[in-house]
Amino acid sequence: MNKPRIQDDLYTYVNQEKLDELVIPDDKPCAGGFQTLAEDVEKIMINEFEEMSLNNSYPNDYLKRACDLFVLAKDADKKAEYGVKPALNNLEIINGLNNLDDFNKEYKSLMLKGISLPLKIMVDTDMKNTKQHAVYIQGPGVILPDASYYKPEMAAQKEMIMGIWINVAKAILANSGLSAEDQEKYLADTLEFDNMLGNLVKTSEEWSEYISMYNPTSINDVSNLVTTLDFKAILNDLFGFVPEVIIVSEPRYLENFTKVFNADTFELYKHWAFVNGFINACSLLTEELRDLGSLYYRSIAGIPANTPIHKFAYQLASSMYSEPVGLYYGEKYFGSEAKKDITEIVYQIIDTYKTRIQNNDILEESTKEKAIQKLSRIGVKMGYPDKVLPIYDKLVYSDGSLYDVVGELEQIKILNNLSKLKEPTNPGKWAMPGHMVNACYDPFVNDITFPAAILQAPFYSINQTRSENLGGIGAVIGHEISHAFDSNGAKCDEFGNINNWWKEEDTKRFESKIEAMVEQFDGIELPWGKVNGRFIVSENMADNGGMAVTLEIMGKTENSSYEEYFTNWAKVWCLKAKPEYLQLLLNLDVHGPSVLRANMPPRNFDEWYKTFDVKETDQMYIAPEKRVVIW
Ligand SMILES: [Zn+2]
């Protein structure tokens, strides 16, 4: 293939050689960028786990428990010995439920056993008073990757994916000990129950609007909606008292709850819960079942091979003990010199945002002041936390099958979550562990988290030039901070509380920017599907903000090179992926496709046109009146 000109396609110009040479691992849907870094971190940590286990020498108790779990999870023989028995024993509780009364009495036991429930109850930060916790309720997940697949216009895709699921489910249920007749009945009932859910629970697009999750409702109003539940008694079982206010995350589902869950549908529910429970158990049972259990997702994401057993074991152990593993990784592989250098970039970005906000044309003067206050209060978490959360002292387990051990640990996590209701929130809590290749802004804390694992090349290196680092990690830091002012963040104040601090005029001007940004992306045809501009608009606005703020810093940086800046920007988005996976992301991921994340933002900025002499006839040109700069 001929290499395109940079003015027509920055992404391919920069990444073509890399894309040609990248090989997508058999057990993954993609390679490159974030994925390559994640693979590298995983390799390092698997070696660490192997060595610690072999020498029976661990830096602390947490890592010992993580390594023991790792060893247990990769013991195929032991798993074969236990077979499906542990899962069937656990699911036995479902057979004992004869009616709604039984269900209400057993709700807590069902929850602790990890059985799928028609209404999920959990404790999380109260979005309007983020110092305290609140009880949230929501509906269950669906069989298809997202509720949007249940819309009439997705009928063809739904049928195709559901067909795959049914085939896989049949093969799995053949191992469940049910008679052939029951297998068929359970499957049909599961599909019927799922179909009711699919039309009522939220789509990813709906979930992406965080604020709409916050619907505080009096306990009496909720009880009157979920009349098939003995809701107050259930809450009393869970918390030892009945909270007065419940946050309803999915109003549509709740209003229709009794149509889904009632005496007539109870049998459907039971079969759905059993089938879900058995399928979810597969990864923890025999190797054959782990393979079958992964087949559905692998088929729809285009992944030929299952995760090898040692990788699976590491992924399980490192997610169960994520903070201690992240802390170990950070301490060993992330230097304090790098931390100092990046923290300097972060504060430079925050300060630059302050002046940009001061000079921007969206916000009124009084709103600008509050925006600057919000910036001054942003918490910065770089690398890894000093110590792990107290929950990790509780995460101990007894001898037994892998299924039972994981069940025991999950139960501790559930009880820990319930116990939080009367405790204050912990703003020192990290949203991501040190070994994760990712970054985030938390609107309800007003802080950014950059784990150690993302703070490496191509995002950041102490050996890269400042221009390269600004085009890499700098733009990503700017991206995360701008989430403080996106359509979700703008509705939360400097303490992370939902609190509309914008004037009507601010919102109006901001919304016209949103529309312009939706328009830039909406309907773009890629070989694997069409882009939904509204679904990904918050992330696109964040990319735009990240670029605006770092380009301004570039202008003030001595010996800066815009060529290096844009080249590294394109490099971090390099991704080679299976078309099935890319198609899935179009419906599930609030971030746009990598190629667009690399190629769309630059064309809004003068620096792009000047650096590469981009002209009207070039592909990466847009007319000045269509360019959008938000922050
Ligand atoms: Zn983002």
Q: How far is the CA of 539 from the centre of ligand 1 (A)?
A: 5
Provide the pLDDT for residue 500.
86
Whether pLDDT at 335 is above 80: no
Provide the pLDDT for residue 63.
98
Q: How far is the CA of 442 from the centre of ligand 1 (A)?
A: 10
Provide the pLDDT for residue 487.
76
Provide the pLDDT for residue 336.
76
261 and 181, same domain (yes or no): yes
pLDDT band at 33 (very low <50, low <70, confident <90, very high): confident
Whether pLDDT at 2 is above 90: no
Q: Over 26-68, what HEC string results?
A: CCCCEECHHHHHHHHHHHHHHHHHHHHHHHCCCCCHHHHHHHH
Helical axes 231-239 vs 100-112, angle rounded to 10°:
30
3-state SS assignment for residue 482: helix
17 and 108, same domain (yes or no): no
Q: How far is the CA of 440 from the centre of ligand 1 (A)?
A: 7
- For residues 470-497, give the mean pLDDT: 92
**Of 43, 290, 351, the residue nearest 168 (C-alpha):** 290
Please, what is the Cα angle at 501 between 500 and 507, to 5 degrees? Answer: 80
CB 311 within 8 A of CB 41: no
For residue 383, report the phi and psi dihedrals to the nearest 5 degrees: 95, -90
Number of domains in the chain: 2
Q: How far is the CA of 597 from the centre of ligand 1 (A)?
A: 11
- For residues 53-67, give the mean pLDDT: 98
- For residues 589-607, give the mean pLDDT: 97
168 and 235, same domain (yes or no): yes
pTM (2 d.p.) = 0.93
Q: To the nearest whole percent, how much of the chain has pLDDT over 70?
A: 100
Residue 168 sits in a domain of what CATH number? 1.10.1380.10
pLDDT band at 179 (very low <50, low <70, confident <90, very high): very high
Helices (H), 522-628: 537-556, 562-572, 579-588, 594-599, 606-612
Q: How far is the CA of 433 from the centre of ligand 1 (A)?
A: 17
> Does a structural domain hold residue 367?
yes
168 and 35, same domain (yes or no): no
The conformation of residue 203, written as its DSSP 8-state character, comes to P
Q: How far is the CA of 515 from the centre of ligand 1 (A)?
A: 18
User: 245-294: per-residue pLDDT in tens?
Assistant: 999 999 999 999 999 999 999 999 999 999 999 999 999 999 999 999 99
275 and 362, same domain (yes or no): no
**Of 38, 404, 443, the residue nearest 214 (C-alpha):** 443
> Does a structural domain hold residue 445?
yes
Provide the pLDDT for residue 263.
98
> Does a structural domain hold residue 187?
yes
Q: How far apart are CA 541 and CA 514, in angstroms?
A: 8
> Does a structural domain hold residue 420?
no
Provide the pLDDT for residue 87.
98
Which residues are annotated as catalytic? Answer: 480, 543
CB atoms < 10 A from the CB of 347, how many?
Answer: 11
Listed residues 245, 264, 284: the one ending a domain: 284
Mean of per-residue pLDDT scores for the chain? 96
Provide the pLDDT for residue 151.
94
Please, what is the Cα angle at 618 between 613 and 624, to 5 degrees? Answer: 75
Q: How far apart are CA 597 and CA 607, in angstroms?
A: 17
Q: How far is the CA of 488 from the centre of ligand 1 (A)?
A: 11
What are the angstrom distances between the C-alpha of 541 and each of 196, 500, 530, 568, 623?
35, 20, 19, 20, 19
Q: How far is the CA of 524 from the centre of ligand 1 (A)?
A: 20
Listed residues 246, 264, 284: the one ending a domain: 284
Q: How far is the CA of 213 from the centre of ligand 1 (A)?
A: 19
Listed residues 267, 284, 301: the one ending a domain: 284
pLDDT band at 340 (very low <50, low <70, confident <90, very high): confident
Q: How far apart are CA 32 and CA 29, in angstroms?
A: 11
pLDDT band at 356 (very low <50, low <70, confident <90, very high): very high
User: 292-321: per-residue pLDDT in tens?
Assistant: 999 999 999 999 999 999 999 999 999 999
353 and 470, same domain (yes or no): yes
589 and 515, same domain (yes or no): yes
Provide the pLDDT for residue 1.
61
> Does a structural domain hold residue 607?
yes
237 and 354, same domain (yes or no): no
Q: How far is the CA of 601 from the centre of ligand 1 (A)?
A: 14
Question: Tokens representing 373?
Answer: 């206050």
> Does a structural domain hold residue 315?
no
Q: How far is the CA of 625 from the centre of ligand 1 (A)?
A: 26
251 and 340, same domain (yes or no): no
Q: How far is CA 470 from the centre of its chain?
A: 25
Whether pLDDT at 337 is above 90: no
Q: How far is the CA of 397 from the centre of ligand 1 (A)?
A: 36
pLDDT band at 524 (very low <50, low <70, confident <90, very high): very high
Range of the domain at 166: 100-284
Q: How far is the CA of 590 from the centre of ligand 1 (A)?
A: 8
270 and 343, same domain (yes or no): no
266 and 369, same domain (yes or no): no
343 and 222, same domain (yes or no): no
> Does a structural domain hold residue 308?
no
- With residue 499 as reference, give the H or E element that holds it: none
pLDDT band at 523 (very low <50, low <70, confident <90, very high): very high
User: CB under 8 Å to 532, separation ≥6 — which residues?
Assistant: 205, 522, 586
Q: How far is the CA of 481 from the centre of ligand 1 (A)?
A: 9
> Does a structural domain hold residue 395?
no
Burial of 610 (C-beta count, 10 Å sphere; 0-12/13-18/19+): exposed
What are the angstrom distances between the C-alpha of 270 and each of 100, 171, 262?
11, 20, 12
Q: How far is the CA of 154 from the centre of ligand 1 (A)?
A: 27
pLDDT band at 339 (very low <50, low <70, confident <90, very high): confident
Residue 36 sits in a domain of what CATH number? 3.40.390.10
- For residues 187-202, give the mean pLDDT: 97
Helical axes 100-112 vs 85-95, angle rounded to 10°:
150
Q: How far apart are CA 59 and CA 429, in angstroms?
A: 22
